[in-house]
Amino acid sequence: MKRVLSGNEAFARGAFEAAVKVVSSYPGTPSTEITENIKFYDEIYSEWAPNEKVAFEVALGASLAGKRALTCMKHVGLNVAADPLMTASYTGVNGGMVVIVADDPNMYSSQNEQDSRHYARFAKVPMLEPSDSQEAKDYLIEAFKISEEFCTPVLVRSCTRLSHSKTVVELGERCAEVDLGLENNIPKWVMVPANARKRHIVVEDRLKKLTDFSYSSNLNKIEYKSKNIGIVCSGIVYQYVKEALPDASILKLGMVYPISIDLVKEFSEKVDKLYVVEELDKFIENELKAAGIKVESLNRDVCGELSVEKVRELFGEETVAKEVSQLSLPNRPPNMCPGCSHRGIFYAINRLKLFVVGDIGCYTLGLLPPLSAINSTVCMGASVSMTHGIDKASDGEYTKKVVGVIGDSTFLHTGVNGLMNIIYNKGFSTIIILDNRITGMTGHQPNPATGFTIKGEPAPKIDFEVLVRAMGVKNVYKVDPFNIEECMEVLKREVEKKEPSVIITTRPCIFADRSVISSPFYVDVEKCTGCKACTKIGCPAILWDENKRQAYIDETLCTGCGLCPKVCRFDAIHQRGEK
């Protein structure tokens, strides 16, 4: 049976057909939908872990128990999981273990544009790279076979364009479940130095065997056409090359690490000129040049995403003119949703002119005008640690005007460790946990603080107040982020203290709890003076009529959160139905 599936849906189907037993992941675009689709297969245990390192280790534990295991993450998540990855390369696996890592060329939703292929070389583990949804499914199944045959974790690389585009997929049956039993092999699994030194030799030997395997593997395919130009490529770039250069001969690498140099040499000897077309870093090109293979240079930008048109331009081919709609569309700058629970606290922060060390999540949007209340964002959990760094660097001087801001999921991901550090090292920082009870920006996945699992089943719920008090924080306060005066009062008081403080906001995301949505508000035009105070909270539902010099509310967008009347000094905003 055939179905049209996205790359992520196909990965999920591949996990089913490969008889995977355990999947543990952390959400992150563009990888999120893999695990979200896997949860519908009852044969597979699936979960959201607090971070990618934990997810990786859960999968490795399942492998140790003799079952097939999978973990999925975006490229920056692999940085978090890098620690266990490096040692798992040494221990190897028992049941097959695969890591799907999804890169994000052009950074559609990421803070950097790293190329995950380097991790395969760094960890000395194989990496496969499918080019469409069919291969996404098939390569995942193949990855488990490679994992078990060569006793290694296997990386499978996706990218935004593959994960989110759809092609036809031939579905298969679920294979028999692998059950190798719990492996009790201390020299293999206990990485004390004496054992690790021996395992390093195993890793190097494995790499040679994998290179030999790559030479004969059906994962790599040669398509001979014109011998004038030979292209080496992989992944989604193969699709661009096929369309842009239909007459070129192509060596498509399904296994991008280790690369079979012998295979590339054979291919290069049958074409006049050899090129490498790849996205982001010159990973394959450098591997070939290091092996002494002559590769023609392309004036390619290592930043951003490739396309059919860009590949044509690289080879001086005429680009096909696109039909561009002349329809004028309004700009749609990123913004917090109407009714977002983060807006009030950021408005209060803005009023106090505090320096805000931000983090990864919806609340990063607090940097945009008119809120303009984020001064740095680096990576998951960095807000807490960096706030402490600012504290120590200034001998406490800056703590009176600096706060760290982090979401609930991100705090549990890696922020909690930073708070431990603040307490242990006698810092004075003020940290705000924006608890909206969901992992918002990646699409509203649950986390250990939401009270339900990936399948919506009830689960124990982390209580942030109890948690941070247990860690040793004495100054813990819950605030309603829509109560501006209360937020300002607590903020002013806590940043003055020479002790760590944690402020927890208590409003849910409107997508996590629809019950918070109520009747919309409207502007009483008789009372509106046009002061624009309401527009400074940045709510998309509040609009400005330039001709009338008055604000008005789009009631189809308004969620009735009640924030805007609290900033209106003229009692001009009221709720529908109020008496």
Q: Which residues are annotated as a binding site for [4Fe-4S] cluster?
A: 528, 531, 534, 539, 558, 561, 564, 568
The Cα–Cα gap between 469 and 480 comes to 19
Whether the CB-CB separation of 71 and 85 falls below 8 Å is answered with no
Q: How does strand 573-575 pair with strand 521-523?
A: antiparallel
Annotated binding site: 528, 531, 534, 539, 558, 561, 564, 568
The Cα 234–Cα 264 span in angstroms is 13
Tell me, rounded to whole angstroms, the distance of Cα 317 from its chain centroid: 35
**Phi and psi for 13 in degrees, rounded to 5?**
-65, -40
Q: How far apart are CA 305 and CA 326, in angstroms?
A: 25
Residue 184: partners with Cβ closer than 8 Å, 6 or more residues away: none
C-alpha dihedral over 374, 303, 11, 6, to 10 degrees?
A: 90
Q: How far is CA 420 from CA 51, 355, 400, 461, in A?
A: 17, 22, 20, 20
**Cβ neighbour number for residue 219 with a 10 Å cutoff:** 24
- DSSP SS3 for 489: helix
Residues 6+ apart with CB under 8 A from 149: none
Rounded distance between C-alpha atoms, residue 164 and residue 33, angstroms:
9
| Other beta carbons within 10 Å of 112 | 11
Q: Which two tokens stand for residue 465?
A: 């107040």
Element (H, E) at 223: strand 221-223
Distance, CA of 343 to CA of 351 (rounded, Å): 12
Percentages of the chain per state (helix, strand, coil), in multiples of 5: 35, 20, 45
For 35-76, strand residue ranges (E) read 45-48, 69-74
* CA 169 to the chain's CA centroid: 25
Whether the CB-CB separation of 75 and 103 falls below 8 Å is answered with: yes
Q: What is the CA radius of gyration of the chain?
A: 27
- Length of the chain, please? 579
CB atoms within 10 A of CB 395: 8
